[in-house]
Structures are given as structure tokens and as C-alpha cells.
Amino acid sequence: MSYKPFTFRLNFRFGAIHIGTAKFRAIEPEEHPFKLPPHPDFDQYPLDAFEKGVEAVILSSHPIQKPMERLSMQHGVLCYVPATYHRYYIDLSGSFQEYLDKSSHKKRYNLRREVRKLTEAGAEFQVFRSAEELSSFYPLAREVSRKTWHESLLKGGLPATSEFKALMRAHGERDTARGFLLVKGGIPIAYQYAMMEKGVLMLMNLGYDPEFRDASPGTVLQYLALESLFAEKRFTIFDFEEGESQYKQTFATESLECADIFLFSPTLRAKTLIRAHLVLNVLVRAVLAVSERAGLKVRLKRLLKTRSVK
């Protein structure tokens, strides 16, 4: 297994409220998580890197087969597991019809009905592949992203930076990205952006105009995007990345239980920061539990439910 160096940023957040960031000199596997062993084997990781100035070995979305302790010592290093979750994906081999046949008749009928209703109402599906096409896609997708609660509330959405636009163009030049757009009456109402990393097409950003919520534009766009991907046979896996949602479960064909596993040199600084991060995560979960019992507004729960790791 090969590793690459990078600066790891451990962010401290209370929901969407950013408190601070701790930086570590780190390394991470160059392989996609799906290619990692089915469960961590600490004998195989380059723990000797800590003797060469590395402060952390980051194993994001590592597959696991049994629960792991949140905080433990493994082979003399500090092992922190801030999050465990399912990672959903789609096997793009075979045909689109074969993919649909894996779903129930009712599910297929409902999906096709939603697609038919929106397309008959004038919605048009567009695909963007090349660098030039993605440059045209970007402002249209940004137009949608600005309207989403994910951007207005959580400061997420499609990044509005020159660095991201340059990265998107670079992927377009290598034919390793896809932009998908749903347009109605000349107005973009839903977008998706996916790019290939480590041999897998990963869904990076998506959103829809809340004004069209009742027409399920996000679901319709996902259906049409997958139909396009199956037809072109350029990619083998469509990865929804980390996190649980009904949306992912609706479309995925497979899932892996994964954990973010962070290995740190057991310095006083690392021990202090990791314990503080752990306490903050526990506090966020406690607030969420209280809000559930108290029946607080969904908007508040969304605000606090943001993962405080990345």
C-alpha cells in the first residue's frame, strides 16, 4: 500500500459553527477506500513514519467488520475513530435495465413516474464532460447551489473558488468528471457534479432549487445521470461517499460499513486535541438527542447534525 503526504485539518465544529482547526503533518493511502482490507490490521500500516516527522496516519472511510473503540492505543500510537457509517455505491457494470431490475417493481414504477412527469412538464437533462463544457456547467450549477439550504445554512454547496474551477477544468481535460443538470424553462433546477479519484467516480456536490421540491428534481436527475453513466461505460463504480440518507439507499446497489480511523503520535498536543474533539462530538450528539425528544424544528436539527470531523 502506497501513501502520500498532506496537511490534515481536524476541524472543531458545533454543528455549523466553526470553532477552530488543528493541523497535522499526515500521510494517507493512495488507494480508494473500497480497495482497503475489510478490517484494520495495524501491523500493516507505516507506523514507523512517526519517527520521520509524520504526526498522523489518516485512514478515512476504512471498511470495518466489527465496532471499534472511539479512542484507544494501538501498537503504541493513539487511535481515534470519530465516526462510523455506511458508504453506499453503485456497480456500473451491466446495463441500466439490469440495474433497475435489482429494485422492486413499485420502486421502479415510482421512479419512472417522477421522471416522466417532470420531463413531460418541459424539464431537460444535460451532461457536461469536457473542460469547456464543465466551464459552462459551473455557473449554472452555482445558480442552483446558491438557493439550497446546504449552502445558505451550512456554507456547503458547490465551492465558489477559482481553485475549484481550475480543478474542475483539469478533470475535464482528463475526462475524469461529469456535470449533470436539469433545466426547466431555461432555468437550472438541479445539478450534480462527480469526479473520478483513485479509479472511482465519486459524487462530490449536488443540489436542487427548493421551489421545485414537490417535483423531486434531485431524484429525477439522479435517475437520468445513472442512465447516462451506464450507457457510456466509462466508469465502473459510482460512489456516494460517506454518510447515511434515504436518497443514497434508494439508488445504491451495495454498501460498506466504514469508519474514519486517525492514528496519531501520542504527544501531549495530540492527546489534548483528540480528547477535546471527542468531548465536542459527544456534546453535539447529546444536543441532537435532546432536540429529537423535544421536537425542535428540523432546521435546527440539520444545523447541529453536521459532522464535526472534516
User: Average pLDDT over the chain, rounded to whole?
Assistant: 90
- For the stretch 164-180, pLDDT in tens is 999 999 999 999 999 99
pLDDT at 10: 96
- Percent of the chain, pLDDT > 70? 91
pLDDT category of residue 297 using cuts at 50, 70 and 90: very low
Least confident range of 24-28, 214-218, 257-261, 288-292: 288-292
Q: Which residue has the higher pLDDT, 301 or 103?
A: 103
Rounded mean pLDDT, 153-174 = 87
Contacting residues for 169 by C-beta, under 8 A, at least 6 apart: 131, 134, 135
Q: Cell 431537460 identifies what position?
A: 124
- For the stretch 226-256, pLDDT in tens is 999 999 999 999 999 887 788 898 899 999 9
pLDDT at 304: 47
pLDDT at 176: 97
For residues 104 and 302, give the distance between their C-alpha atoms in angstroms, rounded to a whole number: 30
Rounded mean pLDDT, 176-204 = 95
For residues 33 and 62, give the distance between their C-alpha atoms in angstroms, rounded to a whole number: 6
For residues 295 and 304, give the distance between their C-alpha atoms in angstroms, rounded to a whole number: 14
Rounded mean pLDDT, 260-266 = 97
Q: Is the pLDDT of residue 289 over 80?
A: no
Rounded mean pLDDT, 68-78 = 95
pLDDT at 300: 52
pLDDT at 280: 93
Among 260, 249, 248, 253, smallest CA distance to 236 is for 253
pLDDT category of residue 309 using cuts at 50, 70 and 90: very low
Q: Is the pLDDT of residue 23 over 80?
A: yes
Find residue 197's DSSP bridge partners.
200
- Are the beta carbons of 288 and 304 closer than 8 angstroms? yes
Q: Is the pLDDT of residue 310 over 70?
A: no
Q: Which residue has the higher pLDDT, 17 or 258?
A: 258
Domains and CATH numbers, the chain: 3-85+256-304 (no CATH), 93-235 (3.40.630.30)
Q: pTM of the prediction?
A: 0.83
pLDDT category of residue 148 using cuts at 50, 70 and 90: confident
pLDDT at 88: 95
Handedness of CA 289, 69, 253, 210 (dihedral sign): positive
- Are the beta carbons of 218 and 236 closer than 8 angstroms? no
pLDDT at 17: 78
